[in-house]
Structure 1
Amino acid sequence: MRVAIRNGRHAAGGFDLDRDGFALREAPSAVRNFYDEAEVEDVYYRELEALLKRETGARRVLIFDHTIRIDDGARSRELGKREPVRRAHVDYTEKSGPERVRQLAGAEADDLLSGRFAEVNVWRPITGPVNRAPLAVAEAGSLAPDDLIPTDLVYDDRVGEIYETAHNPAHRWVWFPDMSVDEVLFLKSYDSATDGRSRFTPHTAFDDPATPAGAPARESIEVRAFLFFGD
């Protein structure tokens, strides 16, 4: 199915995480090798914790995992990495957002869940610019409640839940072409607030028919974090 995806770099006023569910920011990193797990956890996690606090006003940031994706089956298998997901989805649901906090926070969970909290992914190319299998996101204001379909996600040690996203011609899809290694895309996969701000952001890799022949395979890192606001 062909879907219209507009160039977010041309949007007047840009995009806002709480209004639209995503936002693009320039954020150079000191990380030299994103394939070095220790460097990512020691350097990059600290960078993102500070960045997310500045961007959102969160009092506490709990970064809990990251995933590297390579749009090259042979190379991804060789390095033990995943490939991009070409299916519109949201990483958490009304049910699984709080459940994941309880799994991660243990005895602190009740206190953390007593105020507003959100889950935000931070997506960055680790080679660039990205031309192949870029990431598209849907504006929160274009979603209808029935567009989000709860779906089990089965792991070896637990069963999670995500939202698959049903096609709706009213969706407004956006991508940011030629993202560089110095840019990050924030996207919100859960927000406990029900005051009209964005809560769930569908996203997917896609195949752009204008991708140049021989474009390098996308390599990217996504970091997941829970944000706690204490209100």
Structure 2
Amino acid sequence: MTDTGSGTLDRHEIALKDFAVSNLTAGGAALALGSLGVVATSVLYALSPPAAALPAQPFDRAAALVGAVAGARPMFAAGTVGIFSDIVLAVGALLVALELARRGRGVAVGGWIAILLGAVVFTLVDAILGYVLGPLAATSDGAAAFGGFKRLFDVLFLLGTTAFGAGAVVALMNDMRSPTPIARKPVGLAGAVTGLAGVLAAAACFAGFPLQQGVGISIAIGSAIFAAIGVQILLKPR
């Protein structure tokens, strides 16, 4: 008798291997797609009134209220695009971290986890921007609640920038010293410098200095760089 069962199993295993995708391949794709979405979100933020859409220093509730009413549409669009992009970016960062953990690169893993946490925090930031601030500002009795949510938005924006920027510095600086880097060194250096600039701008805002534009710009440029890094990870020969 001919054992056809084992032959069928072997063919199924080969077929499954044909569809197998590594952590880095999937992570690079998700990182690139999510980062591109964050770039688009940053453009929509730039089209919104800065007093409402950025962690403005010093805090001015009246200006933020006026801005949230005037910029309700771009803020809603920014929040909608942002919440989904942040989740995809977070998944990409997690997959990259898992692969680097398998390779025993603990320092880089810590950086990528910080990037993941930054993306999670920005999911909340974008949700507040798109779905809370505008509707609250449009109600006649929502001024007090608006002020509370705006302050929460501001601190989360700065916290997310700090986590993302610090994670970029740690992950990419470690990657540049690795014998098998996952990104090209010039791109990694640009990402680390941009991340450091974002951390410094966020720290200045925490201290009350009006560097909120620097915070927003660092997120936009950093996201564009991470889109390039995601493409490089995706296309890197395995």
TM-score interval, smaller chain = under 0.3
Q: Could you say which structure has the larger radius of gyration?
A: 2
Write 1 or 2 for the structure with the bigger share of helix: 2
TM-score normalised by L of structure 1: 0.22
TM-score normalised by L of structure 2: 0.21
Question: 1 or 2 for the larger relative contact order (CA 8 Å, sep ≥6)?
Answer: 1
